[in-house]
Structure 1
Amino acid sequence: MIRHRLLSTLFLSGFCIAPPSMAEEVETANEVITMGEVEAIGIVEARWHYPARIDTGATTSSIHAEKVEAFERDGEDWVRFELVNPQEKGKAKVLEKRVVRVAEIKRHGAESQKRYVVKLKARFAGREPVLEFSLADRSGYTYPLLVGRNLLRGAVVVDVSQKEVLKVKPFKKGGKK
């Protein structure tokens, strides 16, 4: 009975809950997809897929970045950083991005941190939205990428009982996509 009420409420609210088999067949950006608690999310600029923890409590997505260095270009704040290949630990890509903002991240049981936020193009379920990512040292975490509500909002339903629901479309060697 409770499940029926929940599904009715979600249906009447305009949410679509699809089983994972349907989530893999997403063809348009307007459809809501289902993700599990862990998914592979591509970062187009790096041309790598990262194992990502899906966190509905995080406002902004976060990615592991090393050698983060701020600089100024044409009167604007920019940042240079390395994204490390999650499959080949010694391999990294150096990127330079304009700083969108500096976020103050509140952490449980620790002091707040200030982090640079940049825009990166994510790849999942046939979509490639440009989203904000905070640059963080995530070396102490299991997952180098944390997916927050900025990626999920209006596009994703999270089923925490599942993992790796989405099919991964590999990046082509030598090409842009």
Structure 2
Amino acid sequence: MLYSPGLRSAAGFLLLMLMLLFPLLSPPLSASSPDQCNIGNRYLVGHLETVTRIDHQFDTHLPALIDSGSTTSSLDARDITFETLGTNPHWVRFKILTERGGHGREVTLLKPVKRYIRVQTHSGKPQRRPVIEATIELGNIKTTTEFSLT
């Protein structure tokens, strides 16, 4: 099959026009409209989202990288210490920043350790990380999930 330069130019122009017109043909998605965030029983989220609240009490503005290939979410935690409280000997106290870059406040959380995972790091040395459960909000989406502390 032979392609002429004119046909290639016309195809490129058509593709450009479709890319420019597509946003006008479809309504914008917004986290403020829960109906637009659902596809069946699943949520529609982007590659990058913002966590606006942790555990129903701490307002945050933290970037969240959505990785559908990861089995466990991770949370950037500081000053991780382990404690024994009551009948559960495995509790972890840690601090998180409410905004990235040090502009937010630092809050302290105390959570029971659900389990431990072994994570292979880029340096090749595996790490043993505690896993906690926390409730986060991404716009109107509220979900409780497990996080490894890193």
**1:170 equivalent in structure 2:** none
Q: Of 26, 41, 51, which residue of structure 2 is paired with 1:41? A: 51
**2:63 equivalent in structure 1:** 51
Q: Of 80, 103, 122, which residue of structure 2 is paired with 1:68? A: 80
Greater per-residue strand proportion: 2
Greater per-residue helix proportion: 2
Higher-Rg structure is 2
Q: Moved runs in structure 1, 4+ residues, more than 6 A?
A: none
Provide the C-alpha distance between the structure 2 equivalents of 1:108 and 1:87, rounded to a whole number of angstroms: 22
Q: CA RMSD in A?
A: 2.4
- Which digits, 9 at most, give the CA deviation of each residue in 1:33-72, with x for residues without a partner? 3222211123323321211111122111111000000011
Q: Of 26, 41, 46, which residue of structure 1 is paired with 2:34? A: 26
TM-score with structure 1 setting the length: 0.58
Identity %: 25
Tell me: CA distance 1:134–1:70, structure 2 relative to 1, closer, same or farther (3 Å): same
**1:101 equivalent in structure 2:** 115
Runs (5+) with no aligned partner, structure 1: 1-18, 137-177
2:96 partner amino acid: L
Runs (5+) with no aligned partner, structure 2: 1-25
TM superposition shift of 1:88: 6.5
- Which digits, 9 at most, give the CA deviation of each residue in 1:94-151, with x for residues without a partner? 1100111111112345211111111111102412211111111xxxxxxxxxxxxxxx
**1:6 equivalent in structure 2:** none
Compare 127-136 and 108-117 and name the one that shifted more: 108-117
Question: In the alignment, is the contact (CA less than 8 A) between 2:54 and 2:135 conserved in 1?
Answer: yes
Provide the C-alpha distance between the structure 2 equivalents of 1:41 and 1:53, rounded to a whole number of angstroms: 10
**1:127 equivalent in structure 2:** 141
